[in-house]
Amino acid sequence: MPPWGWWPLAFVGIAIVDHLIDTPSWRQRFARMWLVAATWLYPAMLWMWDLTAPGYVAAGAFYAAYFGLAAALTPPRLRAWTLPGTFALAEFARWSWPFGGVPLANVALGQVESPFVYPARLGGPLLVVVTVVIVGQALARLVRHLALARRTDHLDWATMGRSLAPALAVAAVFVLGGLLYPRSNVERTAEVALVQGGGPQRTRASSSQEPVVLGRHVEASNDIVGPVDLIVWPENVVNPGRYLAFDDAYDEVVGVARRNDAPVLAGWFTRGDDLARFNYQSVILPDGSETDRYDKVKIVPFGEYVPLRGFIESLAPSAPLPGGDLQSGTGPPVLDTDVGPVGVSISWEGYFEQRARHSVREGAQLLTNPTNGSSYWLTQVQTQQVASNQLRAIENDRWVLQVAPTGLSAVIDPGGTVLQRTNVSERRTLQATVEMRSGRTLASIIGPWPIVAYGLLAAGAGLAAVRREEVGVGVRSPRHRPANTRFNHRPS
């Protein structure tokens, strides 16, 4: 997992899992896989501690249970074809529920620098997960064959080939299919500037910082070397409030657009009546007009809104809950600009493949992810966000621009390569020539549903097998027969 990790280790991890769940007891499979998943998720989701410490503890245990259930539904004799499906289904479940899911720290993120990321063009991140599990299981079978050869002093090449060939062939089809899938069309190029104002990490929003944060981004925008076609600012760096009037903030953004003769995609956070909050990205032209606006749709539970607020307040009246919830938008995630339609996934939305897919379906030729990770400790959120945007680029065959107030900001090409990236806390402006592209990948057309269907089929087959074993109908291998059967009473 970013920021650590080396992608081949994922296959070693799956091979170990394949060995651990080779037991007829579904309870043992559940317990062992729960422990594996907890050991993976708790360190990789440490960022959540800053958001909600109790939620971090509960979420790690709950999401690990998804994978425990996947293993419980994977009987040993079926696991070669069921584990890839049940494992992918567990990932999909935690990306979706509860409260909209948490798709960070997923297996696909660890493969963004490897050839095994290319199945994302065909089936999105879930197909990457399936491919990793298939190859990991093949590695486990290879180890078993080599161990047997050491014991018997003979390596049966034919048997080993028959055991490994189907899995490796399927994985090769997925990887080569993604590589060879027709690429999108280049409509034109555009000169873009990404503005990172800089400043310290692990800071909380405060009224006194509103003009300071805006000022940093105005100053950093002075470093733009023109001409440019589009200027992209991070999420909610224009934050009118007690120390910053809305009109004054708006004039500052217009000034940047006017000096560079280019539209600014500015990130706003504004307040309405009844404690309502709005987080949106808008297009501000040099003439001072606002021509389009996108309000964030997928918002952060316990960060931007409080699920079950009434229930929590009744149980803990003194709990430090946010005073008002962010108002979720309803519009399509695309902004119309002079260079073409630009897709927008604000911050948290960048981790969810359906948001970028929705943008491309609406005609987006370039994807942006304005974000704000300044309140988080370390760099887990920021590096995993870059990895997520590498996936979004490959899945949709689009350039992706990630821009944050204190980092990380990045320019990512359609192959998932990070061409430019800032450091944390530095003030820096990235400029690049990007392609506006049209056309859709198979993943952007079909979404995750074929892999979900495969996962449900695998889980159903596994459940049926487990139920048969529970009632004593299933066929058991001799090593799992009870000790008091006549097969174990043989002459010495």
* Dist. CA 80–CA 30, nearest whole Å: 17
Residue at 178: amino acid letter: G
**CA–centroid distance for 482 within its chain:** 46
Q: Are strands 366-370 and 400-403 parallel, antiparallel or unpaired?
A: parallel
Mean pLDDT over 305-327 rounds to 74
Q: Which residue(s) pair with 301 in the sheet?
A: 305
Going by pLDDT thresholds of 50, 70 and 90, the confidence category of residue 53 is confident
pLDDT in tens, 130-167: 999 999 999 999 999 999 999 999 999 999 999 999 99
Measured in degrees and rounded to the nearest 5, phi and psi for residue 271 equal -115, 140
Contacts 24+ apart (CB under 8 A), 431-434: 431/191, 431/192, 431/193, 431/194, 431/224, 431/225, 431/228, 432/191, 432/192, 432/194, 433/189, 433/190, 433/191, 433/192, 434/189, 434/190, 434/192, 434/366, 434/399, 434/401
- pLDDT tens digit string along 260-273? 999 999 999 999 87
Structure tokens at 449: 């549903």
Question: Which whole-number Å values give the CA distances from 41 to 28, 35, 59, 102, 132, in the listed order?
Answer: 20, 10, 9, 11, 17
Asked which of 300-309, 345-354, 446-455 is least confident by mean pLDDT, the reply is 300-309
Residue 154's Cβ-count burial label (10 Å; 0-12, 13-18, 19+) is exposed
Percent of the chain scoring above 90 in pLDDT: 81
Residue 432 pairs in a beta bridge with 192
Nearest to 196 by CA among 432, 398, 418, 402: 402
Residue with tokens 């692990």: 202
pLDDT digits (tens, 9 = 90+) for 408-421: 999 999 999 999 99
Q: Residue type at 490?
A: R
Does the pLDDT of residue 319 top 70, yes or no? no
Helix (H) / strand (E) containing 174: helix 157-180
Query: Which residues lie closer than 8 Å to 244 by C-beta, 6 or more apart?
Result: 210, 211, 214
Beta bridge partners of 367: 343, 400
Cis bond before residue 301 (omega within 30° of 0): no
